[in-house]
Structure 1
Amino acid sequence: MNRQSPGSSYRARLYDGRKVWVNGRDVADVPNHPAFKGTVDTVASLIDLQEQPETRDALTFTSPATGKRVNAAFLVPYGKEDILHRHEAFRIWSDATFGMMSRISEYSRSLLTGWYASRNRLGGASDHFADKITRYFEQSRDLDWMSTTAFHDPQIDRSKGPSDSPDPDAYLRIVKETSDGIWVRGAKMVATAAPYVDEIFIYPFHRRSSEDLLYSSMFAVSAGAPGLHLVCREPFASEQPEEHPLSSRYDEMDAVLIFDDVFVPWERVFIKNDPEAIWKMRMDPAVVALSQHQTVVRLISKLEFVTAVGHEVATTIGVTHHLHVQEKLGELLVQLSTIKSLLAVSEELAKPDADTGVWLPAIEPLTTARNLGSRYYPRAIGILQHICAGGLMQTPSTLAELDGPLGPLLQKYYRGASSPAKERVRLFKLAWDLIASPLGSRHELYEIFYSGDPVRAYAAQYLGYDQTRLTDPVWKLIGQPLNEVSAR
């Protein structure tokens, strides 16, 4: 009997009784539902790359437990060469989807790898964090589990925190404990890719106060856990890859998770009722560095894609000789070069963590790149809009029309400067899908808030910076003693 391919094994795992809700209906067959099929096919093809001769070594490494090849996102870096190995693995998957899929597990797997790397310094006093996360990490690695995250609370009333809310179920909380585990009730958002994954990591993104103990836990839950409902937004998926080349393949889907008294065994409860332990985990250097490293690699793939589309559109319609177009295309290249340089610097400045010996890329350039991404991507899409201009609306409803009764006329008036009509129309349909389709609009919004509120992110970078490195030379220049500055 032929062995099942990794991609086929992944598809089979999606039939686990998960409750995925779309348009008010429970989807029984996720892999073949029109809202999900294109994306499931994409994820399965990525997983199968792990066994292709030309990509296997870059995408995988040998598990120390089983001797089998496993995904490189689980590689704990003990040297710069391991960081570069992780980079190359991230790049291959990101390039394969043009950076359009941000939650195909590499981000959450990097978080998990960071938790494992720092296991002996994380968790509360009685959580047994190190033992639990070790077992969970090894199981995830060797079974090739796909995963995602859900950090945020529903937008009900943001003027009130968990302890102040008149509805105790407005925030996810523990409602019952037994010797076997906990039961949780409430909701979390936004679980991108939740319908497609095996596992979901749950914990609060923002810092909780000491009054919010019941809302300050961290655990992992199976996407098919009884009582868990995955409520999806409107699908943007298309069943017409020629007309919608992105929407037909890369609609990751976003979902709100509703926990209707979901049981979580103690083995999967990593931190319980401990806001300080949660925050320490969130800010841990290994967790931050390894996860941000992946996000920046993916951002480069996406900016490269926008730049390539912009160049091809400008060339196709013959406007590359205009200075203002050259300036716009140059700005796209400046964006791309800036993020690439920051990534290269972070890897060049990598060094071992003092406590664990795990090698980490430098966090500051990664944080800078991540924060720039929230502004670069909307700007890049705006540039692409200006280059395409009215041509975005100058496309026939379907490509088939070019071969229909009006074909000869359409071939004449839809052609490009040096390209036939069909080639030009294909390109502009791609540009429309990237810029103006529901999927394209979703991506612009997503990149702005990819790492949370961008205002908070910029402010956090300022607050976390060693400001005396900047100010001490200034005060030295104007003659004020440094001890007086310190006393200010």
Structure 2
Amino acid sequence: MSASQRYRSRLKDGRRVWLNGEQVQDITRHRAFKGTIDTISSLLDLQDHPETRDDLTFRSPDTGEPVHLAYLVPYSRKDLKRKARAYQIWSDATFGMMSRLSDYSRSLLTGWYASRHLLGGKDGQFAHKIERYYQQSRDQDWFSTTALHDPQVDRAKSSSELDDPYTHLRIVRKTEDGIVVRGAKMIATGAPYFDEIFVYPFHRRPQGEAHYATMFAVSVSTPGVHLICRESFASEHEEDHPLSSRFEEMDAVVVFDDALIPWERVFIQDDPEAVWVLRQDPVATALSQQPTVVRLLSKLEFIAAIGHELAQTIGAHRFLHVQEKLGELMIQVETIRALLLFAHDQAKPNEDGVWVPAVEPLTTARNLGSRYYPRALEILQQIGAGGFIQVPSTLDELSGPIASFVDRYYRGSNKSAEERIRLFKLAWDLIGSPLASRHELYERFYSGDPVRTYASQYVQYNKQPLIDQVWQLAKSPAR
């Protein structure tokens, strides 16, 4: 059985996915999920293809079977670059539009595994549990995502101040088999068509709210786990909506209705400090940021290419102000590329011999991405302008009763009417569709509140070498 066949079979496990007020009985056939599942299946097929298998996988030390390179603990710079190449192949194949292909969460898991003897709570079980879980996830090729944030009920109140103490996720009781949890977490991107969800608090919890500081992994099909989806942005019309029909990353709120989490999947319980140390682990942080920057680069390259083609198609590429905007798109691309290359160039092994990319350039790239992406969409809007409205409702009109009008008035300076219409429909799916709005929101906030992330980079930055230069000059005697 191929990797894609195994993946599809796992989706038919009785998971409780809710959309439009109804439980989805088979997500592999449902129009809201089918296009994305087909896309993921095509990516998994690349793991079995002779031309790409070695670029995407390595041999499991336990089974000898090929497994995805996201699970590789890097012990050399070459290993890091191999991982980056694997991320690039999938990112380029999806034009950077699939932001939670499990590279991020798999890399987190790999980092926790590499740092397992330094992490965990007071019970001392973390290393054993995470090792076993990592091996299962790696060898069974599980897809995973994260659910880290509390639902926005009343952000002015802490979890313990809410009327219902189980609004935010916490343990209800402990049994011989595991913990029973109740509450909700958001936003689990991709959860309906993934295998596993990592659950823990994103922000640091005070000791007084230790009940809300538990970390575990849960199978999507676990009884008592419900995935409540937002409105679907998927389209069944591939020609008119080439992105929405293939790359709709469904987001879901995860509701735990007294769900039992087995002890082997409970990694930290009621321990704010242990969770925070895990959140700050340098290996997991660096390894998980690497695929997000690789994907960002693919996405910005995609936008730059569309911007270039839009300008060429309508003959606007000759205007200086348009060239300036296109140049800005290229600068975005090359800035992120340079930061990624520098992160690899400055990579170093830690005390355990695990090679990690330099975090500062990766963090810089992620912070820039939260501002680059909205600006890139704005540039596309400015280049295409009214041309986005000069598009027939469907491509079928190219062969309908008004085909002669469409051929005459919808052509471009160097493109036929069909080529121009297809290009503008693609660009509109990127900047103006419901999917486009979701992506803009995602890119602004997926790393966290941009105000916090920028401020955090300032606070954590090693400023002393810069400051020393200032005072060296200020205190030097005049000549």
TM over 0.5: yes
State which of 23, 28, 33 in structure 1 corresponds to 2:25: 28
State which of 320, 324, 327 in structure 2 corresponds to 1:327: 324
Aligned residues of 1:381 and 1:435 also touching (Cα < 8 A) = yes
State which of 436, 450, 457 in structure 1 corresponds to 2:453: 457
State which of 314, 319, 322 in structure 2 corresponds to 1:317: 314
TM-superposed CA distance for 1:127, in Å, is 4.4
State which of 224, 237, 241 in structure 1 corresponds to 2:238: 241
Indicate yes or no: 2:110 matched with 1:102. no
State which of 428, 431, 435 in structure 2 corresponds to 1:432: 428
State which of 192, 196, 199 in structure 1 corresponds to 2:193: 196
Separation in 1, partners of 2:215, 2:316: 53
State which of 463, 469, 472 in structure 1 corresponds to 2:468: 472
Separation in 2, partners of 1:28, 1:75: 35
Separation in 2, partners of 1:124, 1:353: 22
Separation in 2, partners of 1:20, 1:191: 12
Residue 260 of structure 1 is matched in structure 2 by 257
Separation in 2, partners of 1:470, 1:124: 38
Residue 447 of structure 1 is matched in structure 2 by 443
Name the SS of the counterpart of 2:188 in structure 1: coil
Residue 299 of structure 2 is matched in structure 1 by 302
TM-superposed CA distance for 1:465, in Å, is 1.0
Separation in 2, partners of 1:155, 1:85: 40
Separation in 1, partners of 2:42, 2:405: 39
Separation in 1, partners of 2:324, 2:476: 45
Residue 383 of structure 1 is matched in structure 2 by 379
> What amino acid maps onto 1:181 in structure 2?
G
Name the SS of the counterpart of 2:201 in structure 1: coil
Residue 247 of structure 2 is matched in structure 1 by 250
Residue 365 of structure 2 is matched in structure 1 by 369
Aligned residues of 1:127 and 1:272 also touching (Cα < 8 A) = no
Separation in 1, partners of 2:239, 2:303: 19
Residue 127 and residue 35 in structure 1: after superposition, are their counterparts in 2 closer, same or farther (change >3 A)? farther
> What amino acid maps onto 2:242 in structure 1?
P
Separation in 1, partners of 2:471, 2:268: 45
Tell which deviates more after alignment, 250-259 or 120-129.
120-129
TM-superposed CA distance for 1:163, in Å, is 2.5
Separation in 2, partners of 1:358, 1:154: 36
Q: Which runs of 5+ in 2 are unaligned?
A: none
State which of 141, 145, 151 in structure 1 corresponds to 2:142: 145
Name the SS of the counterpart of 1:154 in structure 2: coil
Residue 133 of structure 1 is matched in structure 2 by 130
Alignment of 1:334-349 (within 5 A): 334-349=331-346
Residue 38 of structure 2 is matched in structure 1 by 41
Aligned residues of 1:127 and 1:271 also touching (Cα < 8 A) = no
Aligned residues of 1:371 and 1:457 also touching (Cα < 8 A) = yes
> What amino acid maps onto 1:470 in structure 2?
L
Name the SS of the counterpart of 1:36 in structure 2: helix
Name the SS of the counterpart of 2:373 in structure 1: helix
Indicate yes or no: 2:116 matched with 1:119. yes
Residue 356 of structure 2 is matched in structure 1 by 360
Indicate yes or no: 2:434 matched with 1:405. no
Residue 226 of structure 1 is matched in structure 2 by 223
TM-superposed CA distance for 1:353, in Å, is 0.9
Residue 486 of structure 1 is matched in structure 2 by none
Name the SS of the counterpart of 1:376 in structure 2: helix
> What amino acid maps onto 2:291 in structure 1?
Q
TM-superposed CA distance for 1:166, in Å, is 2.7
Residue 184 of structure 2 is matched in structure 1 by 187
> What amino acid maps onto 2:356 in structure 1?
L
Separation in 2, partners of 1:228, 1:56: 35
Name the SS of the counterpart of 1:102 in structure 2: coil
> What amino acid maps onto 1:411 in structure 2?
D
State which of 3, 12, 19 in structure 2 corresponds to 1:6: 3
TM-superposed CA distance for 1:476, in Å, is 2.1
Deviations 1:161-182 (A, max 9, x none): 1222232012100001012100
Separation in 1, partners of 2:448, 2:151: 14
Name the SS of the counterpart of 2:32 in structure 1: coil
Name the SS of the counterpart of 1:39 in structure 2: helix
Aligned residues of 1:218 and 1:270 also touching (Cα < 8 A) = yes
Separation in 2, partners of 1:286, 1:46: 27
Deviations 1:114-137 (A, max 9, x none): 000100100012041000000000
TM-superposed CA distance for 1:479, in Å, is 1.8
Deviations 1:364-402 (A, max 9, x none): 000000100000000000001101100011110110101
> What amino acid maps onto 2:419 in structure 1?
E
Name the SS of the counterpart of 2:172 in structure 1: strand
Name the SS of the counterpart of 1:168 in structure 2: coil
Separation in 2, partners of 1:404, 1:447: 39
Separation in 1, partners of 2:476, 2:113: 47
Name the TM-score, length of structure 1 as normaliser. Answer: 0.97
Deviations 1:261-309 (A, max 9, x none): 0000000001111111101001111010000011000000000000010
Name the SS of the counterpart of 1:423 in structure 2: helix
Separation in 1, partners of 2:242, 2:462: 46
Indicate yes or no: 2:80 matched with 1:83. yes
Separation in 2, partners of 1:117, 1:215: 26
Aligned residues of 1:127 and 1:270 also touching (Cα < 8 A) = no
Indicate yes or no: 2:423 matched with 1:421. no
Residue 64 of structure 2 is matched in structure 1 by 67
> What amino acid maps onto 2:265 in structure 1?
R
Alignment size in residue pairs: 477
Separation in 2, partners of 1:121, 1:54: 39
Name the TM-score, length of structure 2 as normaliser. Answer: 0.99
> What amino acid maps onto 2:431 in structure 1?
I
> What amino acid maps onto 2:412 in structure 1?
G
Name the SS of the counterpart of 1:30 in structure 2: coil
Separation in 2, partners of 1:474, 1:104: 45
Deviations 1:48-99 (A, max 9, x none): 1101011100000010001111000000000000000000000000000000
Aligned residues of 1:148 and 1:192 also touching (Cα < 8 A) = yes
Q: Which runs of 5+ in 1 are unaligned?
A: 482-488
Separation in 1, partners of 2:360, 2:369: 14
- Output the aligned Cα RMSD: 1.0
> What amino acid maps onto 2:154 in structure 1?
D
Separation in 2, partners of 1:145, 1:423: 40
Percent of residue pairs bearing the same amino acid type: 63
Residue 484 of structure 1 is matched in structure 2 by none
> What amino acid maps onto 2:107 in structure 1?
S
